[in-house]
Structures are given as structure tokens and as C-alpha cells.
Chain A
Amino acid sequence: MFKKLLILVLLLPTFSVVASPERDFKDFVNFFENRFPNTPFEDYKNGVYSIDMSAREQWEAMEEFPPYELNVDHGEELFHKPFKNGNTYGSCFDNEGIGIRHNYPYFDTTRNKVITLEGALNDCRVKNGEKPLSYYKGKELAHVSAYIAYTSRGNKFNVEIPNTKEALEAYEDGKRLYFTKKGQLNFSCADCHVYQTGTKLRADIPSPAIGHPTHFPVYRSGMGRLVTLHERFAGCLNRIRAKSFPGGSDELNNLEFFTTFMSNGLEVNGPGSRK
């Protein structure tokens, strides 16, 4: 009997290790459903446009003929352009790279790290003798990512966290970054994107945390170009005058892992049009 109890006690940590992210997800979704009772769950993929009707009208006007269509066209060209060795991006991915956005990020249990789509695109480049590209300034990486996102619209995110210590650590690392107050302004991501959603922060209305990654990369009209999720993370960190991290860093990969897990069940709808 005692032996059975001992085994049960030893097994308990394993259960709580897996239960925590699911509980976090439920807590998140419940929080937002209570805060915005009129927003249907599927609409969270539209970010601030799911909660602010005046901004939504302007976004719908942009969707009449969205500026990012030009970027998707260019992304398609770049996606099909062969590397020096004759291979293309498609050769590194399932389904030739079409319609796969929702499969990222995932935790690679062999390499023990989070693999994002942009990370996988760069891995593909390196594997084929090319240099990895920058996540910033809306260049080739952003364009190829935008094209792949566009081909994946409608597919639902379903991030899984393998039941390993490393995978859970990556998730917890992202979650910790999300909830830690930081920077000169002493804000956490959650301060704006959980607790202050729907309020006015100067001229902006913070958008809910769930659904954030679904529409990246975004075309920002104010900047006249594409912005990847990591560039946006880094931008936000700079805004609150906190230490930022480079695109493709473990910190930002883990943050993407956490925030995408919190968007499970929502559809890919990138690239999104934003101000």
C-alpha cells in the first residue's frame, strides 16, 4: 500500500507539470470573455478590431483592398526564388511550405528549443548554404512569412507542449517574461494586454493577449511596411524602455511559444493590416 502511495506521490508533479498551461489558457480565455462579453471567441484573432468598433470600421475600409496584398505578391516571388544551390524554401517544409503557418511555433524535443516559422525559414537558408536573414525592417524574411501566412488562412493554431522538462521550461520562460514588470516604465506585457485592454493608453487601445500572434506579420500603414512578431515584441520592449532581445533569440522564441499557446483554437489570419 505504502509503495503504491509513494508511486502516486512521485507521479503527481508530472500531472501538475502538464496541467498548468491548460489552466493558464482557461484562465486567460475566461478573463477576456468576462471583460468583453460581446466578442465571439473567433473574433479575437482580429486584435483591437474585435473590441473597438470605430477602429474596426477603418480596418474594414482597408480590407476592401488591403495594402499587404502587394507584400504577399512579393513574398510569393521570394518564396519561389531558388537558393544558389537550386533548392527553394518549400523543400524544407511539409506540403512544400504552403498552408503550414499554424504548425508554428513548436517545441523541438531533439534540439530542445522552440522553433518559430521565421526561425525555420532561416534554418532552411543555412541548410542550403545561404545566410540567415534579419527579422527586422520588413525585408525578405517578413515577406516570405507573410506569403506563407496568407496561404494558411483559416487553419487553427494548436500549439502542443511536449511533456518534457525543457518544453515546459520554455513555456514558463515565455510566461514569466509576459508577466514580469520591466523597463523604466515598469510595465509587464500583461499590464497592457490583459489588465488595460479596451482602455485608452494615450492614443492607443491595448488589444487582448489572446489572438496576438495569429495575424503576424502585420503591414503597418504608419511605417509603410511589414513587421514580424519578433520585431513587434522588440518594439514593445523598447517602448517601455526595457532591455530588448534580438529576433530569433531564446527569449523571444519562448515568448512567441507562450503567446501562441494562448491563441490555440484561433485561426491564422496573417498578414494583418494595422495602423
Chain B
Amino acid sequence: MSTIKMRSKESNGVVTVKALIKHPMETGQRKNKKTGDLIPAHYIQEVHSKANGKDVITIYWGPAVSKNPYLTFKYKGNKGDNLEISWVDNQGNKDSKTGKVK
């Protein structure tokens, strides 16, 4: 199941994109309450978005971005655009999602 929930809407030639990504965004500073060990850092570092194959925005995130991170951005585009959002985290995991702009 995808970790990315995405909504996009076009109005007057501008597409507003909103995404909610399921991810722990662990800073690496928190301790396991039972063992006292540090919980390893696990956070999304890069998010990319493309519309119809063309790059729209590249995002660099650090561990200060909240758990289950939210993202919103806008770009000049049209209804029906093929929108893709993908991410990579510090442990090398990735996911992506595509959808059509409404």
C-alpha cells in the first residue's frame, strides 16, 4: 500500500498539490524507553515531484520535519497533468505515487 496520499487541484493555471506521507521521521535522538538505546534515525531526505515527466520541485528534508510529513506546493499546470511524487529516506527506502490533476 502506498505511503503517499496526494491531492491536486488546478485553478487559473496554477495547480495546488497537497501530500501526506506515512513515515516515522525519526530524528535519531529519541531513546527506546525500555532498553535506553537510541532509536536509529529514519527520515525522508528527498522528495521529488514531476508533472508530465518534467521536474517541478526538489525538496530536501531533515529530521526536524514532523512525523507523517505534510507537504504543499504549487506549480503552473493543467487539469489532467500526470503528477508524480517520490521520496527517498536516509535508509535508502523509497516510494512514489502518480495521479492526475483535478
Contact = CB atoms under 8 A, between A and B. Distances in A.
Interface in B54-82: 66-68, 70, 72
A65 B18 contact: yes
Contact of A69 (B1, B5, B67, B72): B5
B22 to A, nearest CB: 5
A73 B22 CA distance: 11
Interface centre among A65, A67, A70, A221 (most CB of B within 10 A): A65
A94 interface: no
A64 interface: yes
Contact of A64 (B5, B18, B22, B67): B18
Interface residues of B, number: 12
B68 A64 contact: no
Contacts of B47: none
Contacts of B67: 224
B50 interface: no
Contacts of B70: 64-65, 67
A70 B5 contact: yes
Interface of B is mostly: strand
Interface in B32-46: none
Contacts of A65: 5, 7, 18-20, 70, 72
Interface in A66-85: 67, 69-70, 73
A118 B1 CA distance: 27
Contacts of B20: 65, 67, 69-70
Interface in A31-80: 64-65, 67, 69-70, 73
Interface string B17-36: 01110100000000000000
A17 to B, nearest CB: 49
Interface of A: 64-65, 67, 69-70, 73, 221, 224
**What are the 10 tightest A-B residue pairs by CB atom distance, in nearest-first order?**
A65-B20, A65-B18, A70-B22, A67-B68, A65-B70, A224-B67, A70-B68, A69-B5, A69-B20, A64-B18
24 contacts: A64-B18, A64-B70, A64-B72, A65-B5, A65-B7, A65-B18, A65-B19, A65-B20, A65-B70, A65-B72, A67-B20, A67-B68, A67-B70, A69-B5, A69-B20, A70-B5, A70-B20, A70-B22, A70-B68, A73-B1, A73-B5, A221-B66, A224-B67, A224-B68
